Amino acid sequence: MNKKIILRLLLVATVSLFFLNSCRTDEMMQEEKRTEREKIEAFVRFENNLTTQKNTQKNNSEYISYHKPFQQIIQAFLNKNPAFAQKFQNEVGDIYFELRSLTYGKTSKVIVYPIMKDDKVNAFIIGAINPQRDWVNFTVAKDDTPEVQRIISKFQNYYNSASVTSRSREKEQPIEEVVIIVDSPGPVTFPYVDHNGFGGGMSGGNDSYGGGSEGGGGGSTQAPPPQSPCEKSKNIMSKPDVQAKIKELKDQSKIGGEVGVKIRADGTTSETISGGKHEVDLGDTFGYQGGYHNHTPTGIKMFSPPDIIKMMSFSIAQPVGYIQDGFMGMFGSEKCSGCTDGYRYYNYMINFSGTNQELAGFLYSTQYDTAKLIKDYRRREKELSNEPAFINYANGELNDKGLEKLFFDTLKNMGLEGKVNLQKIEDSGQILNINLDSTGNSTASTLCP
């Protein structure tokens, strides 16, 4: 069914530039494994002040802007994460607070700001706080769809108008409605995710934002319970479009040259992306949950350091609380005289298992020397090739155990030990969780139920 998200854009007076990846409290990204979430102090203070004002004033307007708390938590995040703030400014732009939408929603509250670069609006950011005030999400919309471009155009037109007249208006002024139509068979998930790994989708549960009034609709933005790693992988691999692309990668792995594909949360995919002899650039993670690619007959049939870093880019692009949904997949093959079609296949998938704070640190604070990491990766592969337990004697290459040990050794070398899950997808479709065994010198597998 179609659900309408109606944004009444307006012009206001305030200043700033900034953005947020995803946050839940003023301190941002605190311990992810808390059993109880704390209320977000900026919103608690704001609404307590509103209550006080209502008790002391006889006339209160029905409309209330939530611009102030949204602005405060964005600024707090950027102040505490200067490396991320600089990266966002360089690659996306500045959030322009002088121009913003009305706050809409009866229980949940939603607001929209344009993102600008060189006086041009090239994206916008949507902030949403749930009714419990303990979970807030920000999503950057930047793509060529008509819905997004119409909103960008509206913001640009009114920015130009403000440039000519005045930049210091004191009251919000609603302008023409802009309607986003979301084709959705069920719960609303805002379809435009981030740009280059910034931000996350608007997870909606049973939300329906909208309505024709300033208050709009409402609902809960409480995220549904997360799936287990096994459930996530089974869901991904069950999609018809994904299965078709996996078949392409399987065939390509026997030929040579790398190709890849990006996969959306609904199971649809990008077109096949062509690469080089031993690499493929999947591009930005905008709007995608993960990616899959093949390795070549002469390449190592295991994730390389750049593959692992790319997985983290997909992870940071996911909705708040769902970074573990981001993934990277790999398909490899080698000739095998005793195998059914003359080939042995290697099909693996990885996802990040740490916290938001850790992920942001790995991506925006860690300075990876990729060339050195690749050199270390190849050197370790050769070292493991000298250990009998890790060798396939038919061709002298690493067997499953050797490849898996190489992966965990690579994680350790990157400072990611214990922060990435590894799964193997068998030819039968069964999925295995792979971990180091109790000695740490080899791997053990557990079959997904």
Given the structure tokens 């964005």, which residue do they identify? Answer: 74
Name the average pLDDT for the chain: 75
β-pair partners for 141:
124
Asked if residue 26 lies in contact with residue 42, where contact means CB atoms within 8 angstroms, the answer is yes
The candidate with the shortest Cα–Cα distance to 345, out of 298, 389, 400, 391, is 400
Q: How confident is the model at residue 381 (pLDDT cuts 50, 70, 90)?
A: very high
CA distance 233 to 54: 51
Determine the pLDDT at residue 163: 57
CA distance 80 to 275: 38
Residue-wise pLDDT for 21-79, tens only, equals 333 323 333 333 333 446 788 888 999 988 877 666 555 557 788 989 988 888 887 78
Among the residue ranges 77-81, 290-294, 330-334, 392-396, the one predicted with the least confidence is 77-81
Residue-wise pLDDT for 412-433, tens only, equals 999 999 999 999 999 999 999 9
Residue with the larger pLDDT of the pair 422 and 89: 422
Residue-wise pLDDT for 228-263, tens only, equals 889 989 999 999 999 999 999 999 998 888 999 999
CA distance 325 to 416: 17
Asked if residue 106 lies in contact with residue 218, where contact means CB atoms within 8 angstroms, the answer is yes
H helix or E strand, kind and range, residue 199 = none
DSSP 272: P
Describe the chain by its helix, strand, coil percentages, rounded to 5: 30, 25, 45
CA distance 449 to 447: 6
Write down how long the chain is: 449
Among the residue ranges 132-146, 197-211, 374-388, the one predicted with the least confidence is 197-211
Residue with the larger pLDDT of the pair 222 and 229: 229
Determine the pLDDT at residue 137: 72
Determine the pLDDT at residue 225: 54
Residue-wise pLDDT for 397-407, tens only, equals 899 999 999 99
Determine the pLDDT at residue 195: 26
Asked if residue 141 lies in contact with residue 192, where contact means CB atoms within 8 angstroms, the answer is yes
Q: How confident is the model at residue 208 (pLDDT cuts 50, 70, 90)?
A: very low
CA distance 62 to 164: 31
Residue 223 pLDDT > 50:
no
H helix or E strand, kind and range, residue 119 = none
CA distance 396 to 207: 56
Determine the pLDDT at residue 238: 92
Residue with the larger pLDDT of the pair 329 and 110: 329
Among the residue ranges 92-96, 200-204, 290-294, 441-445, the one predicted with the least confidence is 200-204
Residue-wise pLDDT for 332-343, tens only, equals 999 888 888 889
Count of other CB atoms within 10 angstroms of residue 286: 19
Determine the pLDDT at residue 46: 92
Tokens coding 262: 């990006």
Burial of 430 (0-12, 13-18, 19+ CB in 10 A): exposed
Residue with the larger pLDDT of the pair 234 and 158: 234
Residue 14 pLDDT > 70:
no
**Most confident by average pLDDT, 87-91, 103-107, 131-135, 424-428:** 424-428
Determine the pLDDT at residue 142: 75
Determine the pLDDT at residue 214: 26
Determine the pLDDT at residue 159: 81
Q: Tell me the residue ranges of DSSP E strands in 12-98.
A: 94-95
Q: How confident is the model at residue 222 (pLDDT cuts 50, 70, 90)?
A: very low
Among the residue ranges 28-37, 82-91, 218-227, 231-240, the one predicted with the least confidence is 28-37
β-pair partners for 398:
391
H helix or E strand, kind and range, residue 394 = none
DSSP 388: G
Q: How confident is the model at residue 131 (pLDDT cuts 50, 70, 90)?
A: confident
Give pTM, 2 decimals. 0.57
Determine the pLDDT at residue 242: 94
Asked if residue 22 lies in contact with residue 73, where contact means CB atoms within 8 angstroms, the answer is no
Among the residue ranges 43-57, 197-211, 386-400, the one predicted with the least confidence is 197-211
